[in-house]
Copies of this chain bind each other. A is one copy, B any other.
Amino acid sequence: MATESFTPGKLGMETLHNSLTDPSIASMNLLNEIADKYPQAISMAAGRPYEEFFDVKLIHEYLDAFCDHLRRDRGMDDAGVTRTLFQYGTTKGVIGDLIARHLAEDEDIYIDPASVVVTVGFQEGIFLVLRALRASERDVLLAPAPTYVGLSGAALLAEMPVWPVRSTEHGIDIGHLLEQVKVAREQGLRVRGCYLTPNFANPTGVSLDLATRHRLLEIAESTGLLLLEDNAYGLFGAERLPALKALDRAGHVVYLGSFAKSGMPGARVGYVVADQPLTSNGSDAGEFADALSKLKGMLTVNTSPIAQAVIGGKLLLHDYSLARANAREAAVYRRNLGHTLDALTRRLGDCPGVSWNSPTGGFFITVTVPFAVDDALLEHAARDFGVLFTPMHHFYGGTDSAAGGINQLRLSISLLTPELIEEGVARLAALIGSRLTAPR
């Protein structure tokens, strides 16, 4: 019997999946540790939704509204209602029809509810899509750099390499995108898709302009690239540009929805719209949603129908419009964004080498400074200035701080009040001032 290096009851990290030792995991842990270590610091790091309007009573009301809907609109008796909430349910979920109506109402997206797979948040959705698309070592994904850590994490789990595409003020460098497709194909690789957050992306706050959206769909058409659209922040903007999926006429867009910001994070409900026809040996084989549903059956069986009922009830009580349901929240986010941009201008407007972008919605602002924003600086900021932010290099895959973003940081505005914003930006300005005057 071949010998194995083994200590009884102990597991060596080096024997476990390599995602566990990826630098991006370590970097996320480090950010959490610093936040935990300095609880008194003002956090301009957390991308959590605003909490003022949360109320436990709402959970009960949403559940009741969904049960009423099952009786009234689906003709269920009490046993049917109870079974729907308590028992195993269909893998695709029980609120696909409500989600389809919401997408029609809020996004001008018109789909068959059968194309919807309800998932455990965006995160399970993107993992299912990547797991389905990652069939061999030839498969790669494109994504703008910097990119959302949830995308990077799912890609690690699915062992899908992510090739970076340069970001611009319009979201993505189309020339570089085409070049990456060309390079990949010359290497015999299959580019399975490109991940994009067209509205107020995490971490940059940047949106794609309308021309870029149309151009991306043309590229999808000509190259066969799937566009994986993440629209977590679309509702929270002064301007509302059409989603890629709303412009999609030929099934090039897989739409990943999240209720974490528009419903509530605690439900952990999201969804994938995947209406791409599947073929098997030239014959029709359903839609991509059917394939994702099969994978979901092996991963989580189905999304909790109780959690779905909570989100379904919220949709029902607001006539399927989360734009209307979130009118107060959207106003808070726009107010906070305005306050933050105003405070930055007042406190850092004359600072040489310091600049920031001006998103018109969403949760995030990118600040550029003329020095390195590494994790040591973050700890210094937390300890000595009482303010937290997120060094941008963490959104470049965490593999090498030289990969990008080392002169940038992300500010989050979602969880704050005007008073905390004023004080937080003042502390940030003090930190930046100290670096600019510090001896080199």
* A257 CB to nearest B CB, Å: 15
Cα A153 to Cα B301 with chains together (Å): 10
Cα A154 to Cα B131 with chains together (Å): 12
The tally of residues in A whose CB lies under 8 Å from a CB in B reads 99
B157 lies within 8 A of A266 (CB): no
CB neighbours (8 Å) of A10 from chain B are: 251, 276-279
One digit per residue, 1 when the CB lies within 8 angstroms of any chain B CB and 0 when it does not, for chain A 326-368 equals: 0000000000000000000000000000000000000000000
Say whether A371 faces chain B, with CB atoms less than 8 Å apart: no
Cα A56 to Cα B19 with chains together (Å): 41
Say whether A305 faces chain B, with CB atoms less than 8 Å apart: yes
Pick out which of these stretches binds chain B: A79-87, A109-117, A203-211, A388-396. A79-87
CB under 8 Å from chain B, chain A span 243-274:
250-252, 260, 264-269
Q: Given the known A-B contacts A51-B86, A55-B82, A307-B307, are A157 and B131 also in contact in the complex, defined by CB atoms under 8 Å?
A: yes
One digit per residue, 1 when the CB lies within 8 angstroms of any chain B CB and 0 when it does not, for chain A 69-103 equals: 00000000001011111111100000000000000
A250 lies within 8 A of B291 (CB): no
Say whether A156 faces chain B, with CB atoms less than 8 Å apart: yes
Chain B residue at minimum C-beta to C-beta distance from A82 = B54
Cα A297 to Cα B153 with chains together (Å): 8
Contact of A310 among B120, B252, B306 (CB under 8 A): B306
Contact of A157 among B60, B133, B298 (CB under 8 A): B298
Cα A347 to Cα B244 with chains together (Å): 63
Contact of A266 among B134, B267, B281, B304 (CB under 8 A): B304
Say whether A135 faces chain B, with CB atoms less than 8 Å apart: yes
Contact of A307 among B17, B131, B306 (CB under 8 A): B306
Say whether A438 faces chain B, with CB atoms less than 8 Å apart: no
Contact of A299 among B54, B127, B260, B295 (CB under 8 A): B127
Contact of A298 among B21, B60, B123, B300 (CB under 8 A): B123
B305 lies within 8 A of A4 (CB): no
Cα A82 to Cα B51 with chains together (Å): 9
CB neighbours (8 Å) of A268 from chain B are: 300-304, 307
Q: Given the known A-B contacts A11-B279, A13-B278, are A306 and B87 also in contact in the complex, defined by CB atoms under 8 Å?
A: no
Instruction: Report the 5 A-B pairs with minimum CB-CB distance, sorted nearest first.
Output: A153-B298, A9-B251, A6-B224, A268-B304, A13-B280
Q: 6 A-B contacts, Cβ less than 8 Å apart? A: A10-B279, A16-B291, A20-B295, A89-B266, A121-B300, A268-B300
